[in-house]
Amino acid sequence: MKKLIIAVSFVISFYSYAKSSSPIGVFDSGIGGMTVLEKMLTIDNFDNVTFERKSDGRPDFEGESFIYFGDQANMPYGDYAAHGKSEYLKRLIVADAEFLLSKEAKSLVIACNTATAWGLTLVRERSAKDDVETTGVIEAGVRSALTEPTAVNASGGFTIGVMATPGTIASSAYERTVKEQTKKMGVTGKVLVFSQGCAGLADAVEAGLVDAEKIAVENFRALKAKADAAKEPLRVVILGCTHYPFVLDALQNEAPNVKFVDPSLATAEECYLSLKNKGLLSKNKKSSLKVFISVPRKDLDKKFLDENGSLTRECKYGRDINDKTLWTEVKPYTSVDAAKNNFISRALPAVSKMLKGENK
């Protein structure tokens, strides 16, 4: 009997060690989710030995392996809703999760607001079957924004601005979440959410265009005009797309007194706490990162491709839920093109180091 107990506890501890060494799966439609990954690689809000909430000079995710997937071939995700293709988008989002689960991910992070807005429930249902928890970015972003003292308005309620993809805004996910959270907090004052769907901004960031900053500022001005028209001072704006922290400097320059909230910090904390509660934080010493992207399938008819070799917009947004064609394939992201590399290393030094294999 004693031997059996020893054998069973040996198997259990071996299983939990193996599971804690599995990777954390992070996904987005492109490089935007790397802004969340950067926070996960650098955050130090907890003591790694006692798990108390206090910095100890060691990254909280020390020793973790990460698998990042960017569904570049199908992006921008933010445009599917406007084409009436939200059901197809949901299928893409679940496929992203399936890919990471097939790589034995122990936890999933949807590092994309649009995918969180349209697919969080579905991905949670799917990952629960593998006993894997999923963290999204929207609740985390709202919780952070509501801790900002300047978000409190004259009536004792909250005034929050949201810049996001047209698809995220169309889902009303931010508005709904702000209303839910403030209700839970027992807020009785006015709760105002001003939203701006920033068409073209995520794709401009993805392409590394200087135009991205211009588009960001124009959209911020349009958002501010909505608050001005309602005579409400706008002091807190959520960057509701993971591509937007890349243009934070331009936005901050335009509006130095506005607090732009990046949900990635709270998202990283949420994922950390979920792993801690399940006893799944890695016991390893060295972190690692593997990046995968989707590309159009090599044997695809050229008529579906544009001059850059990407799926044409007609093709992307013409597909519907019954479409059985396999349009894309996944490949490891071995080398980053020079323009994107510059862009990433400027804004995301920790990710950039890992991409270059300098994670010693």
Q: Footprint of ligand DGL on this chain (CB under 6 A)?
A: 28-30, 32, 75-78, 112-114, 165, 168, 202, 241-243
Residue labelled with tokens 């679940």: 94
Q: Which residue's CB is nearer to ligand DGL, number 20 or number 294?
A: 294
Please identify, using beta-carbon distances, which residue of 31 and 280 lies nearer to ligand DGL.
Answer: 31
Nearest to ligand DGL of 41, 162 (CB atom): 162
Q: How far is the CB of 82 from ligand DGL (least distance, A)?
A: 11
d(CA 270, CA 21): 19
Gap between the terminal Cα atoms of the chain: 45
* Closer CB to ligand DGL, 202 or 268, in the complex: 202
Indicate the length of the chain as a whole number. Answer: 360
**For 269, how many CA atoms within 13 A lie in the half-sphere containing its CB?**
18
Give the nearest distance from C-beta 110 to ligand DGL in angstroms: 9
Least distance (Å) from ligand DGL to the CB of residue 203? 7
Q: Measure the CA–CA gap between 309 and 216, rounded to whole angstroms.
A: 26
Give the angle subtended at the CA of 42 by the CAs of 351 and 165, to the nearest 5°. 65
Nearer to ligand DGL, 113 or 182 (CB): 113
Distance, in Å, from the CA atom of 282 to the CA atom of 291, rounded to the nearest integer, reads 19
SS3 label, residue 250: helix
CB of 77 to ligand DGL, least distance (A): 4
Q: In angstroms, what is the minimal distance from the CB of 213 to ligand DGL?
A: 17
Q: Which is nearer to ligand DGL, 241 or 280 (CB)?
A: 241
Report in angstroms the alpha-carbon separations of 98 from 118, 147, 223, 350.
16, 34, 36, 27
Closest-CA residue to 161 (of 95, 215, 230, 79): 230
As measured in angstroms, the least distance from the Cβ of 94 to ligand DGL is 16
Q: Give whichever of 35 and 287 is closer to ligand DGL, judged by the CB atom.
A: 35
Beta carbon of residue 191, minimum distance to ligand DGL (angstroms, whole number): 23
59/29 Cα distance (integer angstroms): 26
Give the bridge partners for 110, in sequence order: 27
